[in-house]
Each structure stands twice: as C-alpha cells, then as structure tokens.
Amino acid sequence: MKFQPISKWLPNAAKPLIIAGPCSAESEVQIMQVAETLSEAGSVQLLRAGVWKPRTRPNSFEGMGKNALPWLIKAEKEFGIPFVIEVANEEHVKAALDAGISHVWIGARTTVNPFSVQEIADALEGSNIPVFVKNPLNPDLQLWIGAIERLNAAGLEKLAAIHRGFSTYEKRAYRNSPNWEIPIELKTQFPELEIIVDPSHIGGDRSVLREISQKALDLGFDGLMIETHPNPDEALSDPKQQIFLHEFEAFISELEEKQPHFKDRIAKNQLEQLRKLIDEIDHGLIESLKHRQEIVAQIGDYKAEHGVTVFQLERWRKIISDRLSDAEARKVEIELVRSVWNEIHKASIRLQTDVVNRKLSQ
C-alpha cells in the first residue's frame, strides 16, 4: 500500500497531530464557539464533530445530519481550521463532498463491515480526499488492515488510522480496551501509515483522558483525537468523555511530547549497550526453546511407543502452577508468563501430535 504523510496534505500539520471538537455538532452557536476557542489555542490542526451518529440503541440522539454541514463550513471559513466528520455510507459521502467537507473518518461500527467500507471506497474514488480509518469494534487487526486496503485500492493515498480501543464484555478500567499491541503491530507492518489515538473513546471518562493521551505519546503514536465541549454535562451524546472547552488548552500543554530518538550521544551509547544485552538474552531464549523442543519430541516418541495420550491435563496443571509461582517469586509479570507458557504448551502439543502421526504412518 502507498500512503501520503499527513504533512503533505494538511498544511499546518504538526507532530503530534491534534484533532479536537465535540462528540456531536449540536448547533451553529456551539460549533462557532468551539472553532473560535480552539483556533485561539493554536494547538489544533483539525476540528472534529459528529454529524451522523451511529447509536447502539434506537431513540438516542443520532446527530443533526445534513443540517449541520453548513455550520462546519462556515466555522472553517471563519477560523481557518478544517473539519473532519464521520461517514458511514454512500449517501453520507455524497452529502459531505457536496457541502465542501475536506476530511472524513470511518467509524468503528463501519470498519467492521467490509461491504460498508467498500461502498464508501467506491463513493470516494477519484476524490483524493483524506480519510481516517478507526479500528473495528472487535480486536481484529486484519479487518482494520482490510478496510485501509479497500480505500487504498480505490486510489486513496491520504490515509491515516485512528485507534479508539476495542469493545469487551469484561468490566475494565476504560470504556474500551486499548490493546496497544494491535496498533503497534499495524505500525510495524505499515511504518508509513500514521496512527492517531482517540483517548476519549478508549477512556469513556474525562478523568482518565490525560493518562491515556500521555501513554499514546510515550508509545510514539502520531497524534490525538480528543472530544471537547463548551458544557459536556449537557452534551447530547457521550457527555462523560468530553473535556470542558475552557480546559482544553491547559490539558494539551500538560502533556509531555517525546522524541523518537536520543539526542545525547552518551545516553544513546548506553542504550545501545543495554540493547546488546537484550539481544544476547533473546538469542539465549531461542536456544533454550530449541533444546526444549528436542526434549518434547523425545517425549512424543515415548508416548507414541506406549500408546499414551499427547495431552496430559495433570502435567499441564502442574507446569503452569509451578511457572506462575516461580514468576511471582521472581517478581516477573504473571500474565506475561501465563501467556508465554500457554503458547509454549500449544507448540508442544502440535509437535507431539506430529511425532505421533508420523509414527502411525510408518
């Protein structure tokens, strides 16, 4: 896939890119107030506002629709900051383009449906409009990549991703689980694709937005999309996750921007030495895994010769209990050890099954 960096299609783009505005466009007065305040703050490069709001339950506020588009265009002309809005189907795309909207995003509920994404891609073909793609509701990296691929195949290269967290049935500290490893893997596979983090939707509550925003900057993501409202408690949608407009400038100023590389030569040399130690440890781990697999294969031979089942529940329970106890005693993260040993056990089962099958076929 081919991507154009944001700095090439957004004249005032900065790192980190800051996108801000209300969850929903509720009135012309509200939009003009938000645009004026954020333009004076000087830290915002794109304004956001929901025009069509896909709601979980019917009879909820679903946005002002096309009626809100002239408000956004008016604010953009008066204060010089373009708006980005969510589109979920061909009709939305046509209305947005006809109104003069210059940036759009595809929401999580749309990204999850390849048919809807393709409809939008077809409607946008030839427009060369910038498109931000939010992750799907469920933690499925391939679905996220697939949505971006569909847009890219339609000739759209001004693309960026938005990480807004993933839905989970479990009760967690945040509204949506960050699963940071998923956007990190997306960045690993597509280094030129810029990723914006949406702390408002991850957190679901303004009290945790600062810690999520700082975490995003610490991890080196390319920007933030933050919801802000003149009076969040009276907002027509998602009131808890919106920052008070008068507090927005202070909120941004308190975040610490991180550099991607060391500037100090001595610190850089020290880092390189530590990385060499990590490399040595990792190679040692691989050698140990190789030795472990050789022993596992021998065990598979014994089981095949004596007609014993590959999976031994009691042995596995003993292994995992022992390793977790050892991890706790050594102050190693329990969930890390549990995850690693679960994968090791799966690999052992596969290897022993292959050994048994080979024995049977001889």
Residue 85 is predicted with a pLDDT of 98
Q: Which residues contact 224 (CB under 8 A, 6 or more apart)?
A: 16, 17, 18, 19, 196, 197, 198, 199, 213, 216, 217
Tell me the CATH number for domain 265-361: 1.20.59.10
CA distance 40 to 287: 58
Residue 226 is predicted with a pLDDT of 98
Nearest 5°: phi and psi at 25?
A: -80, 115
Low-confidence ranges of the chain (pLDDT < 50): none
CA distance 95 to 8: 25
CA distance 158 to 117: 16
Residue 306 is predicted with a pLDDT of 87
Residue 322 is predicted with a pLDDT of 96
Residue 336 is predicted with a pLDDT of 95
Residue 135 is predicted with a pLDDT of 98
For the stretch 125-184, pLDDT in tens is 999 899 999 999 999 999 999 999 999 999 999 999 999 999 987 778 899 999 999 999
Residue 63 is predicted with a pLDDT of 85
What's the number of CA atoms in the CB half-sphere (13 Å) around residue 216?
33
Residue 132 is predicted with a pLDDT of 98
Residue 95 is predicted with a pLDDT of 97
Residue 265 is predicted with a pLDDT of 78
CB 88 within 8 A of CB 54: yes
CA distance 38 to 102: 18
CATH level 3 topology of 6-253: TIM Barrel (3.20.20)
Domain extents in the chain: 6-253, 265-361
Strand partners, 85: 104
For the stretch 316-351, pLDDT in tens is 999 999 999 999 999 999 999 999 999 999 999 999
**E strand or H helix that includes residue 227:** strand 223-229
Q: Which residues contact 99 (CB under 8 A, 6 or more apart)?
A: 66, 69, 70, 72, 73
